[in-house]
A and B are shown apart, each in its own frame.
Chain A
Amino acid sequence: MPTPRLRLLLQLALLVPFWAGGALLSSGLHLPVPGGVVGLGLLLAALAVGLVRVEWLADGAEWLFRHMLLFFIPAAVGVVDYPELFGREGLRAVAAIAISTALAMAATGAAVEWVSRRRGARA
């Protein structure tokens, strides 16, 4: 019986062949889809045909989602190359994002609610 830590490592390691396979396919066939997404498709197919069981990677996936933030911090630091965003322009960008987020949230909530009420009324 592997220790929890080793189990987590094995679960994470199981994602690597799908990621690498996806990356190879994506670059080899010049697909317009990034390797990670091709890997997602491959894993979904492997789960569907029963080649991989979902409990083999559920904890590893959970762990990655919990720490996802760490992995995109380096990209976000790239804002150093855009000093204009540290002043007024940045504040205007934040305002645009706030308004757009409120609109998108309201539109999504309303659309889902509308369809679910219609379906509920029919049923």
Chain B
Amino acid sequence: MSAGAALAARALGAAGPVAATLALYLLARALHRRARAVLLSPLLVVPAVLVTALLRLHVPYARYMQGGRLLGDALGPVTVAFAVPLYRHRALLRRHAAELAAGLACGCLVAVSSSVALARAAGLGGAVALSMAPRSITTPLAMAAASAIGGVPSLAAVFVIVTALVGIVLGRVLVRRLPLASPLSRGALLGLGAHGAGTAQAMELGPVEGTVAGLVMICAGLLVLALAPALRGLLATAVRASLP
């Protein structure tokens, strides 16, 4: 096969997965606009349909990723774009540095440690449990953190999605039930607990809640990613020491 033919074959192999993912995404988004149920979220529906299709058609994941990788690469620019809200709201970040730092420290500590501990208690394997450590941070950062911690990036992406779905339900209840007087604490709760999905929910509560949730989401991601090399040894020891 000539180089040109090989290139054409690769492009064709990549086009299928990209087109299928894109079409399902647009369809699921349109559906979700009409019926806003958590179980109809494109977050759940699109991966579920794709997983079922791959299993039914006996297409290996590596084959799907020939195209899927192209979409995944866009998470790089997404990460770069996080600089925009950080810069725009630098005054708010400075004014409430103490509150936000306290929330980030407590929230990240509880999220990471309880994820891994509960995963082990539930009898999940070491690599699976480690992939759960960054589940409360936004996907592009969680995948990088997972590989630095010794987990599996794609499993981390799945756990981040499950966190979003669970967080949409829990966030609504907790924001209503907990005695939180400040929009700052409501926003931080949603942004740290349920990253992007929480931020979207916080936007509906109010502009301050939404902005704070977005900022906390980004800062929590950067914090966990920065601590990932240190967490690696710590969590590996904890996972080995835990029973199953």
Interface flags for A28-47 (1: CB within 8 Å of B; 0: not) read 00001111110111111001
Given contacts A32-B229, A71-B78, A108-B188, contact A92 B84 (CB under 8 A): no
A residues less than 8 Å from B178 (CB atoms): 106, 109-110
What's the least CB distance linking B20 to chain A, in Å? 10
Q: Which residue of A lies closest to B138 (CB)?
A: A68
**CA separation between A61 and B79, bound complex, in Å?**
10
Query: CB of B13 within 8 A of chain A?
Result: no
By a CB distance below 8 angstroms, the chain A residues around B190 are 105
Q: What interface size band does chain A fall in?
A: 35 or more
Does B167 have its Cβ within 8 Å of any Cβ on chain A?
Answer: yes
Residue B11 interfacial (CB < 8 Å): no
A67-94: which residues lie under 8 A (CB-CB) from chain B? 68-82, 85, 89, 92-94
Beyond A93-B124, A105-B189, whether A111 also contacts B103 by CB under 8 A is: yes
A116 and B122 form a contact (CB under 8 A): no
Indicate if the CB atoms of B166 and A107 lie closer than 8 Å: no
By a CB distance below 8 angstroms, the chain B residues around A41 are: 83
Say yes or no for A51: interface residue by CB 8 A criterion: no
Q: Determine how close the nearest CB of chain A comes to the CB of B105; give it in whole angstroms.
A: 7
The number of inter-chain residue pairs (CB within 8 angstroms) is 298
Q: In the complex where A71-B75, A78-B158 touch, is A107 in contact with B64 (Cβ < 8 A)?
A: no
How long is the Cα–Cα vector from A89 to B51 in the complex, in angstroms?
17
Chain B: interface residue count, which band?
35 or more
Q: Is the interface of B mostly helix, strand, loop or mixed?
A: helix
The one of A19, A40, A80 that contacts B55, using a Cβ cutoff of 8 Å = A80
B54 at the interface (CB under 8 A from A): yes
Interface membership of B19, Cβ < 8 A: no
Q: For the complex, what is the distance from the CA of A47 to the CA of B88, rounded to whole Å?
A: 10
> What are some 29 contacts across the A-B interface (CB < 8 A)?
A19-B76, A36-B79, A39-B80, A41-B83, A68-B139, A69-B25, A75-B72, A76-B154, A76-B157, A76-B161, A77-B64, A77-B68, A80-B54, A80-B55, A85-B128, A92-B122, A93-B128, A97-B115, A97-B162, A99-B114, A104-B114, A104-B193, A105-B167, A108-B106, A108-B185, A108-B193, A111-B103, A112-B102, A116-B185
Chain B interface (Cβ < 8 Å from any Cβ of A): 17, 21-22, 25, 42-43, 46-47, 50-51, 54-55, 61, 64-65, 68-69, 71-72, 74-88, 96, 98-100, 102-107, 109-111, 114-115, 118-119, 121-124, 128, 132, 135-136, 138-141, 143-144, 148, 152-155, 157-163, 166-167, 170-171, 174-175, 178-182, 184-186, 188-190, 192-194, 196, 216, 222, 225-226, 229
